[in-house]
């Protein structure tokens, strides 16, 4: 399993409710992608959210978004700025990546 965690911060001119709705819409579009197990967001503070998306493999995250996912992503980006992204992989995939690197 692979997980990507994105941290988003509200833009000064953005409404919090609109930001939450945009984050929810983005998560819903991600759930339609093959290989995505789940996508959800959490409020970290009144101005920050975290989006956590789980996939069957890291390769799912390497694919470009389809039209609906891109539309939802840009709608979110109009209201919030992505400040950090982390890609997590389970130990099995981490070991496989290590071996692939010839180690």
Please answer whether residues 1 and 54 qualify as being in contact, where contact means their C-beta atoms are separated by less than 8 angstroms: yes
| The residue to which tokens 């692939």 are assigned | 100
Give me the CATH number covering residue 24: 3.30.70.100
Q: Reply yes or no on whether the pLDDT at 103 is more than 80.
A: no
Of residues 58 and 7, which shows the higher confidence score? 7
What's the domain range around 84? 2-100
Number of structural domains in the chain = 1
Give one DSSP letter per residue of 49-96, joined into a string: EEEEEEESSGGGGGSPP-HHHHHHHHHHHHHEEEEEEEEEE-HHHHHH
pLDDT of residue 92: 82
pLDDT of residue 35: 96
- The C-alpha atoms of residue 32 and residue 16 are separated, in whole angstroms, by 25
Q: What is the mean pLDDT of the chain?
A: 95
Structure tokens of 6? 């994105």
DSSP conformational letter for 20? H
């Amino acid at each position: 399993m692979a997980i990507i965690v994105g941290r988003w911060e509200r833009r000064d001119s953005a409404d919090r409710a609109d930001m939450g709705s945009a984050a929810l819409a983005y998560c819903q579009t991600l759930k339609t992608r093959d290989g995505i197990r789940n996508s959800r967001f959490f409020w970290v503070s009144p101005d920050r959210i975290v989006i956590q998306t789980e996939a069957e493999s890291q390769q799912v995250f390497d694919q470009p978004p389809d039209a609906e996912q891109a539309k939802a992503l840009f709608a979110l980006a109009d209201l919030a700025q992505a400040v950090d992204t982390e890609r997590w992989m389970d130990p099995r995939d981490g070991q496989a990546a290590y071996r692939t690197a010839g180690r």
